[in-house]
């Protein structure tokens, strides 16, 4: 049975909500200045709304949101993002992982992105297959023969840094989880905010243990990894002993005007058949064709089918 999965990322929801003296520090002050001078003109709510309206007409089986839902990691933003998620769909239809703008600074006793936990947790079928990692990651959700594996790469960082880390415990659990899923004959779709391969982001923005995640993926395998963070479309491939790993990054879903190297807001429709991974994966990109819309198909490609798994 073919599935259609929508993947959107880096919505950076506007407006900023809840900036108070209690949560103000140097990193947020710099982030706020950057938002006011630059980013709020680029990341527009109207762009996100246009894409989501288009997505609602695509008859998708599931929606993946790969982080950076907000901007300064503020509690008020987390609340607003939860409201946005609830409009996007119920937790069983939407899977979320956090990005560096969601876990931006420490929040003391505030629950932060835990507010989104219903969207970031295993389902009943996937829970027994998810090895225990760190703070509920990785989680596993099953859509028939497709397993969606959610990772958390976000951590608080210092000013001018946007790094991420998977960490020892999550990496260990991911290896076990990927092996279990393969043994059960499931197709594995891993979701992570930061680009997962070494060298895919620069030293101040990249995953600090990307070399270890890459080594894990090329040993234990995954049929597809999707990510955001770089705000550009990306595609890389690696091999593992059982076949090929496709790594697909999507641009931001909220860019409403030309900005540096970033394309206008877009999202991907991923079409695959988990019962027959060798039949290949089709990626259809839909996005704004001009700053004021409309949303239309802006790209289409077929990722070659992976060889049969061992």
The rounded distance, in Å, linking the Cα atoms of 23 and 217 is: 37
Confirm if 287 and 264 have CB atoms less than 8 A apart: yes
For β-strands 266-272 and 243-249, DSSP reports them as unpaired
Region of 41-49, 51-59, 210-218, 221-229 interacting with Fe ion (CB under 5 A): 221-229
The rounded distance, in Å, linking the Cα atoms of 11 and 135 is: 24
Region of 7-15, 108-116, 174-182, 298-306 interacting with Fe ion (CB under 5 A): 7-15
Region of 8-16, 50-58, 88-96, 152-160 interacting with Fe ion (CB under 5 A): 8-16
Q: If binding is defined by CB under 5 A, does position 99 make contact with Fe ion? A: yes
Region of 2-10, 108-116, 126-134, 182-190 interacting with Fe ion (CB under 5 A): 2-10
Q: If binding is defined by CB under 5 A, does position 102 make contact with Fe ion? A: no
The least CB distance from residue 108 to Fe ion, in Å, is 23
* C-beta neighbour count of 91 within 10 angstroms: 17
The least CB distance from residue 128 to Fe ion, in Å, is 31
The rounded distance, in Å, linking the Cα atoms of 286 and 234 is: 15
* C-beta neighbour count of 198 within 10 angstroms: 15
What's the chain's length in residues?
310
Give whichever of 69 and 147 is closer to Fe ion, judged by the CB atom. Answer: 69
Give whichever of 44 and 229 is closer to Fe ion, judged by the CB atom. Answer: 229
The least CB distance from residue 91 to Fe ion, in Å, is 23
The least CB distance from residue 59 to Fe ion, in Å, is 28
Give whichever of 99 and 167 is closer to Fe ion, judged by the CB atom. Answer: 99
Give whichever of 10 and 246 is closer to Fe ion, judged by the CB atom. Answer: 10
The rounded distance, in Å, linking the Cα atoms of 77 and 85 is: 12
Q: Cα angle at 147 between 146 and 153, to 5 degrees?
A: 140
Region of 16-24, 95-103, 182-190, 275-283 interacting with Fe ion (CB under 5 A): 95-103
Of the chain, the end-to-end C-alpha distance in Å amounts to: 22
Q: If binding is defined by CB under 5 A, does position 265 make contact with Fe ion? A: no
Q: If binding is defined by CB under 5 A, does position 229 make contact with Fe ion? A: yes
| Element holding 234 (H helix, E strand) | strand 234-240
Tell me whether residue 174 is exposed, middle or buried, using C-beta atoms within 10 angstroms of its C-beta: 0 to 12, 13 to 18, 19 or more. buried
Among 31, 65, 68, 182, binds Fe ion (CB under 5 A): 68
Confirm if 72 and 102 have CB atoms less than 8 A apart: no
The least CB distance from residue 41 to Fe ion, in Å, is 15
Confirm if 118 and 89 have CB atoms less than 8 A apart: no
Helix then strand then coil, % of the chain, to nearest 5: 30, 25, 45
Q: If binding is defined by CB under 5 A, does position 209 make contact with Fe ion? A: no
Give whichever of 35 and 240 is closer to Fe ion, judged by the CB atom. Answer: 35
Among 66, 71, 95, 100, binds Fe ion (CB under 5 A): 100
Among 3, 6, 7, 10, binds Fe ion (CB under 5 A): 10
Count of residues that bind Fe ion according to CB under 5 A: 5
Site for Fe ion in 279-308 (CB under 5 A): none
Longest pairwise C-alpha distance within the chain: 56
Query: Where on the chain is the footprint of Fe ion (CB under 5 A)?
Result: 10, 68, 99-100, 229
């Amino acid at each position: 049975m073919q599935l259609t999965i929508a993947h959107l990322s880096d919505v950076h929801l506007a407006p900023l909500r809840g900036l108070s003296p209690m949560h103000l520090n140097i990193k947020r002050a710099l982030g706020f200045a950057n938002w006011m001078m630059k980013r709020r003109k680029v990341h527009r709510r109207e762009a996100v709304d246009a894409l989501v309206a288009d997505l609602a007409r695509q008859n998708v089986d599931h929606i993946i949101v790969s982080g950076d839902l907000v901007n300064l990691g503020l509690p008020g933003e987390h609340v607003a993002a939860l409201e946005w998620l609830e409009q996007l769909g119920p937790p069983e239809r939407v899977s979320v992982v956090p990005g560096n703008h969601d876990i931006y600074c420490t929040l003391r006793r505030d629950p932060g992105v835990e507010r989104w936990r219903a969207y970031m947790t295993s389902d009943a079928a996937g829970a027994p297959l998810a090895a225990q990692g760190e703070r509920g990651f990785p989680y596993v959700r099953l859509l028939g023969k497709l397993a969606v594996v959610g990772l958390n790469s976000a951590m608080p960082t210092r000013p001018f840094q946007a790094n991420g880390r998977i960490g020892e415990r999550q990496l260990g659990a991911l290896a076990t989880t990927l092996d279990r899923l393969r043994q059960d004959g499931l197709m594995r779709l891993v979701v992570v905010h930061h680009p997962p391969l070494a060298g895919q982001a620069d030293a101040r923005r990249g995953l600090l243990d990307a070399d270890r995640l890459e080594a894990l993926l090329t040993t234990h395998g995954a049929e597809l990894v999707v990510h955001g963070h770089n705000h550009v479309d990306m595609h890389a491939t690696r091999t593992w002993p059982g076949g090929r790993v496709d790594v697909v990054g999507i641009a931001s879903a909220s860019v409403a005007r030309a900005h540096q190297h970033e394309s206008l807001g877009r999202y991907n429709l991923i079409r695959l058949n988990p019962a027959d991974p060798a039949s290949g994966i089709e990626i259809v990109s839909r996005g704004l064709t001009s700053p004021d819309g409309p949303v239309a198909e802006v790209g289409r490609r077929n990722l070659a089918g992976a060889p049969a798994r061992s």
